Amino acid sequence: MPSPAPSQLPLLDQYGRVGTDLRVSLTDRCNLRCSYCMPAEGLDWLPTPGVLTDDEVVRLITIAVERLGVEQIRFTGGEPLIRRGFAGIVTRTAALKPRPRIAVTTNGLGLDKVAPALAAAGLDRVNVSLDTIRPDTFAVITRRDRLGDVVKGLEAAAAAGLNPVKVNAVLLRGHNEDQAPELLQWCLQRGYELRFIEQMPLDAQHGWSREAMVTADEILASLKLVFDLTQHPDERGSAPAELFLVDGGPATVGVIGSVTRPFCGDCDRVRLTADGQIRNCLFAREESDLRTALRRGADDEEIADRWRAAMWNKRPGHGIDDPSFLQPARPMSAIGG
Ligand code: SAM
Ligand code: SF4
């Protein structure tokens, strides 16, 4: 039996890691259908009464920041921009003391309309997911012909001062595996910081295979055909991306080898799903239910204690290479990517 989590402490686990980076999923719904994430017909969405209200989300964020030492809040989903109360949640998060850093991971649809309001509400950073700059490839991967809207969203984010704007890309064999250099060139020209992420076994359709995955080594090899890449001098710390200077810098590109170069030993993340479950890892197979405690009137300290206990049992690594590895029951879009 694992020993109990010590109380009156931050989000510590048995391996000495401390959770300071909270990913908050605001919805499991989405307006794209990326093939590596969900099927064309979508998924069985969470029933609305089960989804945390804005007040419940803000209460849990407040406990995380004020009692558990969380320093950064990243909103995600599903697609967080389709959550109606999003700007209000950002405003209330920015009012917390100490003020956390506030970021969002979004597919960029509609960002052109809300970027100024979100910046004014206190949003600091935005990561926009964009896997290709070719409209036809975009339409195949996301199953929607919306590249132009994402580009407008990126431009609006930069204009609103949400800098540096980051772009996340996943490469898929047979679709965009050969497009890494052109995507980097496009981002460099616009001042966006690009990060490639290895595809992970988190798709709802369970279609991931190690053989089909484009590895960090392959991504770097294809970039090096066009660019001179040198290891960034800064310590990687808990940041998952290995950073490289492009053609001597100062521009950079990152590669997140979640599968082949895991960073679990330095992980500082914890996740809250849209229905109020704590996940201590993307690949965790257990969740800890805070929603029930919240709705039966638990006080802040009880919730904080439940949260600490959930983190204490975080496993040392994701174990994708372990023969006993099992994909978690929930897909990425329901966990919060
Ligand atoms: N809808 C938003 C978006 O796409 O940015 C936020 C949620 S999405 C699940 C967060 C990130 O996870 C995106 O950058 C997406 O490309 C990435 N993602 C989704 N499924 C993935 C998978 N199986 N492997 C690696 N990354 C994945
Ligand atoms: Fe939606 Fe993001 Fe999943 Fe694409 S990756 S389907 S944008 S949640």
Nearest CA to ligand 2 atom 8: 78
Q: Say what the pLDDT of residue 2 is.
A: 53
Q: What is the DSSP string of 309-333?
A: HHHHT--S---TTSTT----SS-HH
CA gap 244, 197 in Å, rounded: 14
> Which ligand neighbours the alpha carbon of 204 most closely?
1
Q: How far apart are CA 212 and CA 300, in angstroms?
A: 45
110 CA from centroid of ligand 1 (Å): 17
Ligand 2, pocket-test mutation among 129, 138, 167, 273, most atoms within 8 A of CB: 129
Pocket lining for ligand 1, CB < 6 angstroms: 30, 36-37, 76-77, 79, 105-107, 129, 168, 170, 197, 199-200, 202-203, 332-333, 337
CB 18 within 8 A of CB 265: no
User: Ligand 2 centre from 171 Cα, in Å?
Assistant: 14
Distance (Å, whole) CA 115 – CA 121: 10
Q: What is the pLDDT of residue 323?
A: 72
CA of 162 relative to ligand 1 center, distance in Å: 20
Distance, CA of 9 to CA of 155 (rounded, Å): 42
Is omega for the bond preceding 100 within 30 degrees of 0, making it cis?
Answer: no
Q: For ligand 2, which residues put their CB under 6 angstroms from it?
A: 30, 32-34, 37-38, 77-79, 107, 129, 333
Q: How far apart are CA 233 and CA 261, in angstroms?
A: 19
Is the peptide bond preceding residue 201 cis, with omega within 30 degrees of 0?
Answer: no
Residue 11 per-residue DSSP state? E
The DSSP annotation for 108-149 comes to -TTHHHHHHHHHHHT--EEEEE---S-HHHHHHHHSS--HHH
Q: Which stretches of the chain drop beneath a pLDDT of 70? A: 1-8, 235-238
Ligand nearest to C-alpha 169: 1
Cα–ligand 2 centroid distance for 276 (angstroms) = 20
The first and second tokens of residue 78, run together, are 């599903």
Ligand approaching nearest to the C-alpha of 138: 2
d(CA 76, CA 125): 12
Q: What is the distance between the alpha carbons of residues 151 and 162, in angstroms, rounded to a whole number? A: 15
Return the domain boundaries, the chain.
Answer: 11-335
Indicate which atom in ligand 1 lies nearest the CA of residue 335.
Answer: 9
Q: Of the ligands numbered here, which is closest to the C-alpha atom of 32?
A: 2
The dihedral sign for the CA sequence 208, 211, 215, 218: negative
195 CB-contact burial (10 Å; exposed 0-12 / middle 13-18 / buried 19+): buried
How far, in Å, is the centroid of ligand 1 from the Cα of 37? 7
Which superfamily is assigned to 11-335 in CATH? Aldolase class I (3.20.20.70)
CA of 300 to the centre of ligand 1 (A): 31
Cα(19) to ligand 1 centroid in Å equals 21
Q: What is the DSSP letter of 47?
A: P
Which atom of ligand 2 is closest in space to residue 107's alpha carbon?
7
Round to the nearest angstrom and report the end-to-end CA distance of the chain.
Answer: 30
Query: What sign does the dihedral 153-155-160-164 (CA atoms) show?
Result: positive
The predicted pLDDT at position 1 comes to 45
**Which ligand has the nearest atom to the CA of 199?**
1
- Tokens 């990126």 belong to 154
For residue range 121-163, what is the model confidence (pLDDT) as tens digits?
Answer: 999 999 999 999 999 999 999 999 999 999 999 999 999 999 9
Count of helix runs (H) and strand runs (E) in the chain: 10, 14
Strand 277-279 vs strand 72-76: parallel, antiparallel, or unpaired?
unpaired
| Alpha-carbon gap, residue 158 to 156, rounded angstroms | 5
CA distance linking residue 39 with residue 297, whole number of Å: 38
In this structure, the residue with its CA closest to atom 10 of ligand 1 is: 337
The arrangement of strands across the sheet holding 229-231 comes to 229-231, 242-246, 252-256, 193-197, 166-170, 125-129, 101-106, 72-76, 21-25, 269-272, 277-279, 288-289
Atom in ligand 2 nearest the alpha carbon of residue 142: 4
Residue of 79, 83, 129, 330 to mutate, ligand 1, most atoms within 8 A of C-beta = 129
pLDDT at position 336 is 84
Sign of the alpha-carbon torsion through 74, 34, 31, 50? negative
CA distance 148 to 138: 10
Going by alpha carbons, the residue nearest to atom 15 of ligand 1 is 129
Angle between helix 147-159 and 180-190 (nearest 10): 30
Task: Tell me how far apart the alpha carbons of residues 248 and 242 are, in angstroms, rounded to a whole number.
Answer: 16
